[in-house]
Amino acid sequence: MDQWKRTLLTATVLIALASVVYAVKYTTTLTYFNIATVESFTVTLPGQGAVTATTGGASTTNIEFNSTDGTDNCVDPCIASSVTCQEAGTAIFVISNTGTVALDMSANFSASPPSCVKVGGSNTSRAAACTGAIIDTTPVTIIADLGPGLTANYWEAANFTACTSGDTTSKLQSVGGVQSS
């Protein structure tokens, strides 16, 4: 039996030595798999094609608010020189997140509209736009946390109070999007 134990012990030692002699050598490298974050969205006006936002500001078709007598409430915007207007079921802006991250969308004018005009907005309905958040030169959040692949409607309405033809003007309006925090 002692011979058998010695043989077994010798075999065990030889196997252990063989595994040391043939041990695999290696290095390690930490590898990152990065997926780019893309902030991208489109804006579509009624009856128009989608316009992709750019850093320099891509232009959509012009819109206009027309007051019949200088004192009108809840005036819908229309495509300039057209009969295509915002309606209860058709928002002036349809915003689609075409990127890979959630976006907070905002709107503002480059310069204030005439003091007799207040433009409100809402992402819930046309009726809510009449009394919605006032759009002026400071960006106002119009849609928070718009997820990738999602689309949202945004309605606007203008309230005119004692405006005259001298108040006729145009202002550049921007719709912007930044990654949600």
pLDDT value at residue 180: 93
Q: Where are the domains of the chain?
A: 41-179
pLDDT tens per residue, range 35-88: 777 899 999 999 999 999 998 889 999 999 999 999 999 999 999 999 999 999
57: left (phi over 0), alpha (psi -120 to 50) or beta: left
Has residue 18 got a pLDDT over 70?
no
- Give the max Cα distance, the chain: 117
User: pTM for this structure?
Assistant: 0.81
pLDDT at 144 over 90: yes
pLDDT of residue 13: 62
Judged by average pLDDT, the poorest of 22-26, 122-126, 136-140, 143-147 is 22-26
In one letter, which amino acid is 178?
V
Q: Give Cα separations from 104 to 22, 51, 107, 126, 151 (angstroms).
A: 59, 18, 10, 20, 12
Given a contact cutoff of 8 angstroms between Cβ atoms, the answer to whether 147 and 97 are in contact is yes
pLDDT at 103 over 80: yes
